[in-house]
């Protein structure tokens, strides 16, 4: 039997803080949303030529502007982060927020900002290389956050020499990781180090699949997560399961049929199907400012966003 999933949001870092940024995060708290996340990218898709601010400074400002709302990234990746410097920023952010931070973390992908730090003669990382880096990145970050007195590491991709993070995280033994993964290696990382698992669905289904086929694909991901947890000696029910919406066929404007943002009832129906799969958190993208590039993953307007956050959550509970 499914339980009522929590409802959270992603606020893209496209707002100047004093021109809609602060109010967007405060409104998420007022609406009773569980967590407000933001993307941790240097640039992203059609927004590459438009304002796009840093994730961790934005979350720091949001922490100071709110008091109850959980905050986090969806997701941080090794594309331009190093575990040592990231750990220092995270313990600072966890302290400023009084322990309200969740780190969404993934292996990253190609495109957008994935090659920003590469030299002109360097090739983009292959999926295997990204998985290799991720497999070292997460355990090292875990150790840095758990062992504030100092940690030394010499690996294939990352080094740390007596890296100290005193006083450590407010949340003990460290702030929670929400690991985005669908492949076998990433799911093993989620099973070993995650307090939550994140999926956006199957990208192949977005282009040409149906809602039913997409749901089946995600059901398969949940089954694989369960097997990875069993192999790691964990109960899969220990992990929260987070669906970042906007990337399944229902949101593709080129496919026929109504979408989850046609009405509150349509969204509740969509979210309920994933709750039946055991998802404990559904994340919707907050509306983007007027004049922003078209972004079908986002709730199209503020009125519907507020209705989903209030009426939709109540209907799911009912």
Residues whose CB falls within 8 Å of the CB of residue 121, separated by 6 or more in sequence, listed in order: none
pLDDT of residue 1: 41
pLDDT digits (tens, 9 = 90+) for 34-57: 999 999 999 998 899 999 999 999
Domain ranges of the chain: 6-317
Taking the C-alpha atoms of residue 273 and residue 222, their distance in angstroms, rounded to an integer, is: 14
Q: Looking at the predicted structure, is the pLDDT value of residue 203 above 60?
A: yes
3-state helix, strand, coil in the chain (%, to 5): 40, 15, 40
Where is pLDDT greater, at 143 or 121? 143
- Encode burial over 8-25: b for 16+ CB neighbours within 10 A, e otherwise: bbbbbbbbebeeebbebb
pLDDT digits (tens, 9 = 90+) for 123-156: 899 999 999 999 999 999 999 999 999 999 999 9
Where is pLDDT greater, at 117 or 287? 287
Q: Looking at the predicted structure, is the pLDDT value of residue 233 above 80?
A: yes
State which CATH number among 3.40.50.720, 3.40.50.300, 3.40.228.10, 3.20.20.30 fits the domain covering 6-317: 3.20.20.30
Tell me the mean pLDDT in the region 217-240. 98
pLDDT of residue 115: 86
Q: Identify the weakest region by mean pLDDT among 3-12, 109-118, 226-235, 243-252.
A: 109-118
Confidence category of residue 2, pLDDT binned at 50, 70, 90: low
pLDDT of residue 314: 86
Taking the C-alpha atoms of residue 269 and residue 275, their distance in angstroms, rounded to an integer, is: 10
For residue 140, the SS3 value is: helix
pLDDT of residue 121: 87
For residue 116, the SS3 value is: coil
Which of the 8 DSSP states describes residue 298? Answer: B
For the chain, give the percent of residues with pLDDT over 90: 87
Q: Identify the weakest region by mean pLDDT among 41-55, 88-102, 169-183.
A: 41-55
């Amino acid at each position: 039997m499914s339980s009522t999933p929590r409802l959270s949001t992603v606020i893209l870092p496209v707002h100047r803080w004093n021109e809609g940024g602060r109010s967007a995060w405060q409104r998420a708290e007022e609406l009773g949303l569980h967590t407000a996340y933001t993307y941790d990218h240097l640039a992203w898709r059609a927004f590459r030529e438009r304002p796009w601010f840093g994730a961790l400074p934005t979350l720091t400002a949001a922490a100071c502007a709110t008091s109850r709302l959980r905050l986090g990234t969806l997701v941080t990746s090794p594309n331009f982060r190093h575990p040592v410097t990231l750990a220092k920023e995270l313990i600072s952010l966890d302290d400023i927020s009084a322990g309200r931070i969740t780190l969404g973390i993934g292996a990253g992908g190609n495109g957008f900002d994935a090659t920003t730090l590469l030299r002109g003669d360097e090739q983009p990382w292959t999926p295997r290389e990204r998985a290799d880096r991720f497999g070292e990145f997460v355990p090292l970050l875990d150790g840095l956050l758990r062992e504030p007195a100092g940690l030394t590491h010499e690996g294939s991709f990352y080094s740390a020499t007596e890296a100290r993070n005193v006083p450590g995280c407010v949340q003990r033994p460290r702030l929670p990781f929400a690991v985005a993964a669908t492949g076998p290696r990433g799911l093993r990382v989620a099973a070993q180090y995650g307090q939550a698992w994140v999926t956006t669905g199957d990208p192949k289904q977005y282009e040409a699949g149906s809602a039913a086929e997409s749901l089946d694909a995600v059901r398969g991901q949940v089954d694989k997560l369960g097997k990875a947890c069993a192999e790691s000696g964990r109960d899969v029910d220990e992990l929260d399961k987070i669906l970042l919406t906007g990337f399944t066929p229902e949101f593709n404007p080129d496919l026929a049929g109504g979408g989850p943002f046609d009405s509150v009832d349509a969204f509740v129906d969509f979210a309920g199907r994933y709750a039946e799969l055991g998802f404990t958190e559904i994340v919707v993208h907050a509306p983007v400012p007027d004049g922003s590039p078209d972004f079908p993953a986002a709730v199209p307007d503020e009125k519907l966003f507020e209705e989903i956050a209030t009426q939709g959550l109540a209907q799911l509970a009912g």
